[in-house]
Amino acid sequence: MKSPTSQRVAAVDVFRALTMLLMLFVNDIAGLEDVPHWLKHAGANEDMLGFSDTIFPAFLFCMGMSVPFAIQSHYRKGDTTRQIIAHIFWRTAALVTMGLFTLNSGGIEGGLSHQYFTLLMVTGFFLVWAVYPKTEGFRHQSFIMKTVGVALLAFLVLYKDLNGEPFQQGWWGILGLIGWTYAICAGIYLFTHDSLLNNSMVWLAVILLSVISHSNLIPDDYGGRVILLPFIPSDWTLHAFGMSGVLTSVIMQKYAGRNHQGKFTGILCVMGVGMLIAAFCSHPYWAVSKIQATPSWLFYCLATFFPLFGLFYRLTDVKGKASWFDIIKPAGTATLTCYIIPYLWYSIQQLSGLHYPALLSAGIPGLLRSLMFSLVIVLLGGLFVKAKIRLKV
């Protein structure tokens, strides 16, 4: 097996692909009836870790793992630090923009419906952030298409505002939260680089900030609102997931390889046990809640993610079984495209008046339908890529 730094790490793509598939699944089961409670999101005041509550943090963990490899790739291509900072800024801006659009996609009574707004929104996304051919002859056309996309998205913002429904920041939307977490983690890694010590210290510091923000240990009157940077969503808990992914990749680059068989997965298992102990110790003080982004939710999830990724690494990169997951590969390599496609699907389905049979709207048949739906979306994502239609920020 080659060093992780010399080739694409299959486990990262596979872990991300499986997470994306499950994200599509848990989003789709939200409308089903007679579904086991443990599969769904826990309520705002519920002390419970539902299966759905683990998927978004798993995606942030995957995103964090990708950060070191992406930034190292930019340096190998000859990009300067200033160019990488610009890339991080524009990528963050794109994700936050898309997050705010999805959050504000509700329709206008007597005007543009949610479905038509969504179709125009997704069209704008693809016009602005699609991967265009880099040939000299297509450069002018791609500029025109991007300009049309920007104009279309600007029109939607103005339309909502003129009709008394101005855009709201709210909770930023899923893509917006991903954008914020990416910005923090990538910005940190620009300073820590591949230093295991520095990344470990930052990881512990971010977790400590998450704990402090939920403990009221620093009153507002004493500068807590400055120290904790309140404009950053989630009270640092989401960023702790991202930094956990960054740290995992740094450990992988240092300890994974032919000369350290089993050491990397062993380290992750030990970290998982440590997080489980932290979860048990923190649970009496905080409920396990995704909505509240509590430290106990963070610790229980990380207790799963660390050893689980170690298992995937041994299966795919050590044992060479990555081909087992080829059917869902587009979800790991064209992830944003796969995430956006359901917005098209649901809007077209609602506008056309199509409905699933009652049998497929509840219980086990409904769950199987949602699983098949998720797989179909991933396969459609693969077809989009083959047709040279792909989002990339």
The domain tally of the chain equals: 1
Residues 266, 252: Cα–Cα separation, whole Å: 11
DSSP assigned state of 318: I
Residues 106, 132: Cα–Cα separation, whole Å: 30
Domain assignment present for residue 133? The answer is no
Rg (CA), the chain: 21
Please give the pLDDT value at position 21.
97
Q: How far is CA 210 from the centre of its chain?
A: 19
Please give the pLDDT value at position 3.
42
Residues 39, 32: Cα–Cα separation, whole Å: 11
Task: Give the pLDDT confidence of 187-232 residue by residue, as tens digits.
Answer: 999 999 999 999 999 999 999 989 988 887 766 555 455 455 555 6
Asked which of 3-7, 102-106, 249-253 is least confident by mean pLDDT, the reply is 3-7
Do 4 and 257 contact (CB within 8 A), yes or no?
yes
Domain assignment present for residue 193? The answer is yes
Please give the pLDDT value at position 138.
76
40: left (phi over 0), alpha (psi -120 to 50) or beta: beta
Query: Residue 251: which of 238, 267, 239 has the closest Cα?
Result: 267
Residue with tokens 């300067």: 80
Task: Give the pLDDT confidence of 30-59 residue by residue, as tens digits.
Answer: 889 999 999 999 998 899 999 999 999 999
- Would you say residue 260 has pLDDT above 70? no
Give percent above pLDDT 90 in the chain. Answer: 77
Domain assignment present for residue 134? The answer is no
Do 316 and 10 contact (CB within 8 A), yes or no?
yes
Domain assignment present for residue 270? The answer is yes
- Would you say residue 171 has pLDDT above 50? yes
How buried is 365 (Cβ within 10 angstroms: 0-12 exposed, 13-18 middle, 19+ buried)?
middle
Domain assignment present for residue 137? The answer is no
Please give the pLDDT value at position 256.
83
Task: Give the pLDDT confidence of 94-151 residue by residue, as tens digits.
Answer: 999 999 999 999 889 888 999 999 999 999 999 999 998 877 667 778 889 999 999 9
Output the six-digit token pair for 364. Answer: 């086990």
Max CA separation in the chain (angstroms): 67
Residues 335, 378: Cα–Cα separation, whole Å: 9
3-state secondary structure of 14: helix
290 or 235: which carries more pLDDT confidence? Answer: 290
Domain assignment present for residue 135? The answer is no
Domain assignment present for residue 115? The answer is no
Output the six-digit token pair for 19. Answer: 């997470």
Helix locations, the chain, DSSP H: 10-28, 55-76, 81-103, 114-129, 139-162, 173-192, 196-213, 224-227, 237-255, 263-282, 295-313, 329-333, 335-352, 363-386
- Would you say residue 364 has pLDDT above 50? yes
Question: Average per-residue pLDDT in the chain?
Answer: 91
Residues 170, 88: Cα–Cα separation, whole Å: 23
Asked which of 18-22, 243-247, 251-255 is least confident by mean pLDDT, the reply is 251-255
Distances (CA, A) of 267 to 37, 163, 241, 270: 33, 56, 17, 5
Task: Give the pLDDT confidence of 289-347 residue by residue, as tens digits.
Answer: 999 999 999 999 999 999 999 999 999 998 999 999 999 999 999 999 999 999 999 99
- Would you say residue 2 has pLDDT above 60? no
Residues 392, 388: Cα–Cα separation, whole Å: 12
Contacts of 204 (CB under 8 A, 6+ apart): none
Please give the pLDDT value at position 4.
44
Residues 311, 14: Cα–Cα separation, whole Å: 11
- What mean pLDDT is predicted for residues 352-373? 93
Query: Residue 14: which of 342, 320, 367 has the closest Cα?
Result: 320
Domain assignment present for residue 262? The answer is yes
Residue 322 belongs to what domain range?
4-104+168-386
Please give the pLDDT value at position 5.
45
- Would you say residue 1 has pLDDT above 60? no
Residue with tokens 């963050």: 92
Please give the pLDDT value at position 6.
46
